Amino acid sequence: MQEFFFGKLTLDALPHHWYTIGATATIAIMGLICAAVLTKTKRWSWLWNEWLTSTDPKKIGTMYMIFAAVMFVRGMIDSGMILLQQSIAADSQGYLTAEHFQEIFTSHGDIMVFFVTMGFFFGFMNWILPLQIGARDLAFPFLNSLGFWLTAAGGALINLFFTCGGHFANTGWLAIAPLSELEFNPGAGVDYLIWSLQLSGLGTLLAGINFVVTIIKKRAPGMSLMKMPLFVWTSLCAMILVISAFPVLTATTLLLWFDRILDMHIFTVGVGGNQMMYFNLIWMWGHPEVYILVIPAFGMFSEIVSTFSQKKVSGYTSMVYAAFAITFLSYLVWLHHFFTMGAGADVNSFFGIVTMLIAIPSGVQVFNWILTMYKGRVTFSSPMYWFIGFICLFTLGGMAGVLMASPPADFQVHNSLFLVAHFHTMIIGVALFGIFAGLTYWFPKIMGFTLDERLGKRAFWFWLIGYFISFVPLYLLGFMGATRRLDHYAASTGWQPFYVTSALGFAIISCGVITQIVQLIVSIRKRKQHLDTTGDPWNGRTLEWSTSSPPPFYNFALIPTVTSRDEFWQMKQSNRHLENHYEDIELPKNTGMGIYISGFAFALGFALVWQILWLAILAPFGIVVCLTIRSLDDHTEYVLPAEKVMQVESERG
């Protein structure tokens, strides 16, 4: 009977370790505080009507960013725990068990990749991309809402193990088989990982389809492909990677789950399974994924360097081709993640050479960025600080990457901390610095006031110095033979001082994060002094700056007709203004279906993790009912009449 109602879920699954009790209590207290504030200010219906059910990409974008920021703090705590353990675990077990340590680095990786970096990028794309192409909305507003909520459901599921189960996967972020097989990994941890990635992966895929269609079909009249801002181009590249790579993740993790639940033998040891196929499949998704994490940042930096140099971006056409070359090459390099598999010299050389080739388009971009500043009127606002930091770290990390692209060299540093330092250089230096630069740059557009510059620059210095103190020791440790993911080591290796230095660097980076939080609070409190009344605080070049800050919910009262690459800049130069007559606007209605469907999807994920049969049948049924109701609803849009648009516009001044 208990088996029927609760599947494999038993009372043992309730929190009983210090960290599961602590995390569950934290989540509960945070939830209670939010609920109390909402009740006190009577804002429940406001939250539901204005935000949770919204189909406005700007609101969905804000929700993506808040979600990503919360997950970022969660991932930061993980990295602090990892480094603390490593700096005290010389000749001792430290304060974490080996099992717990492994679970921490696994969840750190998954959370930072799937929920933080991608969450922020989807936030930016939702906010900025429609504005840059002169569109009012994405191609599929409902899918956009559904995609966000599926991602959020995945994020909830990955943290649910604190409350139900107590153990996460201990396999590393890719759940490498056969370690992730039932034989070596009984328990719900790996299933949590699989179903969290299935849900968020589906959300990502829906968003990917949505953005590709939006970019291809929803551009303002006159905006030919070669007139698109570079952020739109790089988003297109990243989304092409999403739609071609994410199905591989879905299929691979599904096959892994089949192995676990149906006792299949696809990736198992013996009975005809093939473990190396898991490496191949997961990295066929994984390498494009790495570029999904950095390519949008390339576009953001292109916008930023051009704006703050008051000059058009150097070599626009070559930038576009470079982005596409990187996109294309990223499909052909997956094997460099496991040169040591023993595929043979021919195969290794092919993948080694293709990997090195990526340095060429990357170099084209770096030189173009530098040339954009050349003879420009450069203003060193804080986005430019992040930009300069990015150029340094991108070059450094890229060099380390080219070093490892050579198979013989890779054999020496494979799976060492050198590799860990390399990809952190890329993810911090490119993706995170891009996100921080973008946040500072577009914050006035999103919120209507600029961020505090002084604190922003201070946060940058904490981050940059903290980065070097934290990761240079890891490069060195890698050369000294320290492998990644060590929960303890012998003191005679002499590694401890390096680990301690690295943890010190983490503390400095944490100061940077705290400075950023303070910066946000200070900026909100002093917003009256930093109001952006013009909608164009940086003397920008692209169409998003032609709207007010924040833009009206319909983005553009009248869709602009585009004539040149830096359309808004040209408008300012030729003193051309947007016309002032109004038309009826068709806009999507809000809908709660995205939340309902994701709620059922979350229940399905939970049911499959714990093998609760009745719920696993009920939840898909709920999804089908929701989809049917939605598909029979013919009135998903409403018309905002021209008079109303005029009224809104005049109220805004």
Partner 1 sequence: MSDDIKVFGFWIYLMTDLVIFAVLFATYAVLRDSTFGGPSGNDLFDMPFAFAETIILLTSSFTCSLATLSVYRAKKNSVIFWFAATFALGAAFLFLEFSEFSKFIRMGAGPQRSGFLSSFFSLVGIHGLHISIGLLWMVISMFSIWLRGLLAPTVSKIFRLALYWHFLDVVWIFIFTAVYGMSRL
Query: Rule CB under 8 A: is residue 177 a binding residue for partner 1?
Result: no
Look up residue 110 and give its two tokens.
């998954």
> Which of residues 13 and 248 has its CB atom nearest to partner 1 in the complex?
248
Dig out the tokens for 643 from the structure.
């008079």
CB of 628 to partner 1, least distance (A): 5
Shortest Cβ 204–partner 1 spacing (Å): 11
Place of tokens 């890891």: 474
Q: Given candidates 3, 91, 183, 263, which one binds partner 1 under the rule CB under 8 A?
A: 263
Structural tokens at position 67: 């979600």
Does residue 555 belong to the site contacting partner 1 (CB under 8 A)? no
CB of 620 to partner 1, least distance (A): 10
User: Radius of gyration (Cα) for the chain, nearest Å?
Assistant: 25
Q: Report phi then psi at 90, rounded to 5.
A: -85, 120
Host H or E run for residue 639: strand 637-640
Q: Is 259 in the site for partner 1 (CB under 8 A)?
A: yes
Contact present, 79 and 111 (Cβ < 8 Å): no
Please spell the DSSP secondary structure of 534-602, one letter per residue. Answer: SS-TT---SGGGGS-SSPPTTS-SSPPPP-STTHHHHHHHTT---------EEEEPP-SHHHHHHHHHH
CB of 330 to partner 1, least distance (A): 15
Cβ at position 139, least distance to partner 1 in Å: 5
Q: Which C-beta is closer to partner 1: that of 68 or that of 190?
A: 190
The one segment of 84-92, 297-305, 337-345, 627-635 that binds partner 1 by CB under 8 A: 627-635
Report the 10 Å Cβ neighbour count for 333: 23
- Judge whether 335 and 348 are in contact, CB under 8 Å: yes
The Cα–Cα gap between 290 and 8 comes to 35
Task: Indicate whether 342 belongs to the interface with partner 1 (CB under 8 A).
Answer: no
What does 356-396 look like in DSSP terms, one character per residue?
Answer: HHTHHHHHHHHHHHHHHHTTS-----HHHHHHHHHHHHHHH
Q: Does the footprint of partner 1 cover residue 258 (CB under 8 A)?
A: yes
HSE-up of 580 (CA within 13 Å, CB side)?
6
Whichever of 212 and 446 has its CB closer to partner 1, that residue is: 212
The residue range among 261-269, 424-432, 557-565, 601-609 that interacts with partner 1, by the rule CB under 8 A, is: 261-269
* Given 2, 92, 580, 631, the residue binding partner 1 (CB under 8 A): 631
How far apart are the C-alpha atoms of 455 and 530, rounded to whole Å?
Answer: 14
Stretch in the footprint of partner 1 (CB under 8 A) among 36-44, 250-258, 344-352, 486-494:
250-258
585-588 and 637-640 strand pairing: antiparallel
Kindly indicate which of the ranges 260-268, 365-373, 397-405, 439-447 contains the residues binding partner 1, using the contact rule CB under 8 A. Answer: 260-268
Q: Which of 94, 163, 220, 244 touches partner 1 (CB under 8 A)?
A: 244
Peptide bond into 15 cis (omega under 30): no
Q: Which stretch binds partner 1 (CB under 8 A): 57-65, 255-263, 433-441, 497-505?
A: 255-263
Q: Which of 252, 327, 425, 450 binds partner 1 (CB under 8 A)?
A: 252
- Report the phi/psi class of residue 263: left, alpha or beta, with left for phi > 0 and alpha for psi in -120 to 50: left
Q: Give bridge partners of residue 90 from the DSSP assignment.
A: 489
**Minimal distance, residue 243 CB to partner 1, in Å:** 5
Site for partner 1 contains 248 (CB under 8 A): yes
Q: How far is the CB of 636 from partner 1 (least distance, A)?
A: 9
Cα gap 224→564, rounded to integer Å: 9
Question: For partner 1, which residue of 104, 160, 209, 474 counts as binding (CB under 8 A)?
Answer: 209
The site map against partner 1 for 269-308 (x = CB under 8 A) is -xxxxx--x---x---------------------------
Q: Does 493 participate in binding partner 1 (rule CB under 8 A)?
A: no
The whole-angstrom separation of Cα 598 and Cα 596 is 5
The per-residue DSSP string of 494-507 comes to --HHHHHHHHHHHH
Q: From the list 40, 42, 217, 581, which residue makes contact with partner 1 (rule: CB under 8 A)?
A: 217
Report 126-165 residues binding partner 1 (CB under 8 A).
Answer: 139-140
CB of 271 to partner 1, least distance (A): 5
CA gap 132, 135 in Å, rounded: 8
- Using CB under 8 A as the binding rule, whether residue 11 contacts partner 1 is answered as no
CB of 623 to partner 1, least distance (A): 11
Please choose, from the candidates 357, 355, 369, the residue with its C-alpha nearest in 3D space to the C-alpha of residue 299.
369
x/- binding map, residues 368-387, to partner 1, per CB under 8 A? Answer: --------------------
Does 176 participate in binding partner 1 (rule CB under 8 A)?
no
Measured at the CA of 295, the angle between CA 341 and CA 474, to 5 degrees, comes to 55
Q: Is 431 in the site for partner 1 (CB under 8 A)?
A: no
Report d(CA 372, CA 102) in Å as an integer: 44
Binding residues (CB under 8 A) for partner 1: these are 139-140, 205, 209-210, 212-213, 216-218, 243-244, 246-248, 250-252, 255, 258-259, 262-266, 268, 270-274, 277, 281, 624, 628, 631-632, 634, 637
